[in-house]
């Protein structure tokens, strides 16, 4: 969960800075844990993987993560995985033993370069596979099936791929031999990323990645926990790097989102630099909520001053109608003599400098707080309220200054649309919201039953505008917050 929010923000910022970015998130939908789970629940593995992926994606939506371009699944890439392993075998980087195939780490003189490990410190997993390996650090590329139903045909007999090769094959398929940035949680650096790097580098005679970005992990603070230690125990990659992440159940991510809203969690995560450990506790999230409140209150003030009047300069006067920050050069402006705009101009520079410095979102956010104070001061000093003249210099510079906030916050992926509940959802709010939406769903149903489709559609359209999507299914209508 930390990873997707961070990389979503990084992609937004890179695009805003003029880069063309393709973001791939691998879904490793076949591994030991999924197989164990499928046995435990007596359901096909594919079904479990599907459920988990759907759940994962719905959490991402709530967190405002919508920049992913490709979500490849390992099970859709078996031919690519198999030919990848074959190529490694032909180049003598891999060897087969009784239907298993291993990567020979001794053949790769660069092995250990990412995590700075020496050959001597390599510890492979024990068990049956250990006896077949040439050296303990060798890792499985292909695992022979032991009478398992989950198996694919291969030149080495029926089996399934190792986890590391799934990632290498999928990223190669979409991004080619070398790509710019590989992200992931710090806990994946070894062995997962080290092994990906070795396989891909040896297979393609080219460096796999130009930059590695490892995000810090989340640590539970004194009160409460998030996303679950159990997640990480179940699958290290999932919980931290944003693969399939189980989130249901007490303390799970969806519960936390329900209680706090995705925006609050996103804001909370971005206040820490992505390489640092995030200490999660309830107090921290509450504090993030209080900070967001200050922004929401300003947006209300702004709307009150500007929304009631027609303006030729800006098409919409609500904060959320101001233009988003699509491009860095477009947002440049000269502040002239106006002191608020001079302040905003300097703040914008500072914000961008922070983001340019290894995506320091924490420093960037503190700049936003300074700007917020300047904006409120401006409103107070000029006594601006609903009766203010829209063309007066004080309001014109307020609108310009607010559009800078709009530009910068949209780059962070926050304040993209009005918060559904201003107070950012504690349990009581969530229940209230649930009740109100269900009431509207029933009214719509009744309207449709008496063939008053216009009212039915109006209810749905208005809810859509408010960010509530209705899902009509056979068993009835449900709802979700739309991205
Ligand atoms: Zn991976």
> Hey, where are the domains in the chain?
2-270, 281-411, 427-481
- Strand bridging mode 179-185 / 468-473: unpaired
Q: If you measure from the C-alpha of residue 170 to the centroid of ligand 1, how many angstroms do you get, rounded to a whole number?
A: 9
> What's residue 142's pLDDT?
97
CA–centroid distance, residue 178 to ligand 1 (Å): 15
Q: Residue 230: what pLDDT?
A: 34
Q: Taking a C-beta distance cutoff of 8 angstroms, is the pair 184, 23 a contact?
A: no
**pLDDT confidence of residue 312:** 53
The environment of the single-atom ion ligand 1, i.e. residues with CB closer than 5 A, is 167
Identify the segments of the chain with pLDDT beneath 50: 223-246, 250, 316, 422-425
Q: Is the fold of 2-270 the same as that of 281-411?
A: no
Cα of 185 from ligand 1 centre, angstroms: 10
pLDDT of residue 428: 60
Look up tokens 């640590």; give the residue: 219
- The domain 2-270 having CATH identifier 3.40.50.300: the answer here is no
* Predicted pLDDT at 317: 67
- Give the Å distance between the CA of 359 and the centre of ligand 1: 22
What spacing in Å lies between the alpha carbon of 238 and ligand 1's midpoint?
Answer: 9
Q: What is the pTM of this model?
A: 0.81
pLDDT for 120 equals: 62
CATH topology of domain 281-411: Isoleucyl-tRNA Synthetase; Domain 1 (1.10.730)
CA of 163 to the centre of ligand 1 (A): 7
- Between the CA of 51 and the centroid of ligand 1 the distance, in Å, is 20
């Amino acid at each position: 969960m930390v990873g997707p929010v961070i990389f979503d923000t990084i992609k937004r910022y890179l695009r805003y800075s003029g880069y063309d970015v393709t973001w791939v998130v691998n879904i490793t939908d076949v591994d030991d844990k999924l197989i164990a789970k499928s046995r435990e629940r007596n359901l096909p593995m594919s079904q479990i993987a599907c459920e988990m992926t759907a759940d994962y994606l719905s959490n991402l939506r709530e967190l405002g993560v919508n920049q992913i371009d490709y979500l490849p699944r390992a099970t859709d890439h078996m031919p690519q995985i198999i030919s990848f392993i074959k190529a490694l075998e032909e180049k003598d980087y891999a060897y087969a033993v009784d239907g298993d195939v291993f990567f020979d780490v001794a053949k790769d003189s660069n092995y250990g370069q990412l995590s700075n490990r020496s050959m001597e410190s390599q510890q492979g997993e024990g068990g049956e596979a250990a006896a077949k390996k040439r050296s303990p650090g060798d890792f499985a590329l292909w695992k022979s099936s032991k009478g398992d139903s989950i198996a694919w045909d291969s030149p080495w007999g029926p089996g399934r791929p190792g986890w590391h090769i799934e990632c290498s094959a999928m990223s190669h398929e979409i991004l080619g031999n070398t790509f710019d940035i590989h992200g992931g949680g710090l806990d994946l650096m070894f062995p997962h990323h080290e092994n990906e790097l070795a396989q891909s580098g040896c297979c393609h005679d080219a460096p796999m990645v130009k930059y590695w970005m490892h995000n810090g992990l989340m640590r539970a603070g004194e009160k409460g926990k998030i996303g679950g230690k159990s997640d990480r125990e179940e699958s290290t990659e999932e919980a931290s790097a944003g693969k399939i992440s189980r989130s249901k159940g007490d303390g799970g991510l969806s519960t936390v989102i329900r209680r706090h809203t995705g925006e609050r969690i996103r804001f909370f995560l971005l206040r820490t630099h992505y390489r640092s450990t995030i200490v999660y506790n309830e107090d921290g999230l509450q504090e993030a909520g209080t900070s967001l409140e200050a922004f929401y209150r300003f947006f209300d003030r702004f709307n009150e001053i500007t929304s009631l009047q027609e303006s030729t300069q800006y098409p919409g006067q609500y904060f959320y109608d101001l233009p988003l920050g699509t491009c860095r050069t477009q947002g440049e402006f000269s502040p002239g003599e106006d002191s608020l705009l001079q302040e905003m101009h300097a703040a914008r520079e500072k914000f961008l400098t922070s983001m340019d410095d290894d995506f320091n979102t924490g420093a960037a956010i503190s700049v936003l707080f300074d700007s917020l104070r300047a904006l409120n001061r401006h409103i107070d000093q000029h006594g601006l309220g609903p009766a203010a003249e829209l063309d007066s210099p004080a309001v014109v510079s307020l609108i310009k200054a607010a559009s800078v906030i709009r530009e910068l916050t949209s780059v962070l992926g926050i304040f993209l649309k009005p918060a559904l509940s201003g107070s950012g959802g504690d349990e009581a709010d969530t229940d209230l919201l649930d009740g109100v939406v269900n009431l509207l769903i029933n009214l719509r149903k009744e309207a449709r039953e008496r063939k008053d489709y216009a009212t039915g559609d109006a209810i749905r359209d208005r809810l859509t505008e408010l960010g509530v999507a209705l899902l009509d299914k056979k068993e009835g209508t449900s709802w979700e917050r739309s991205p």
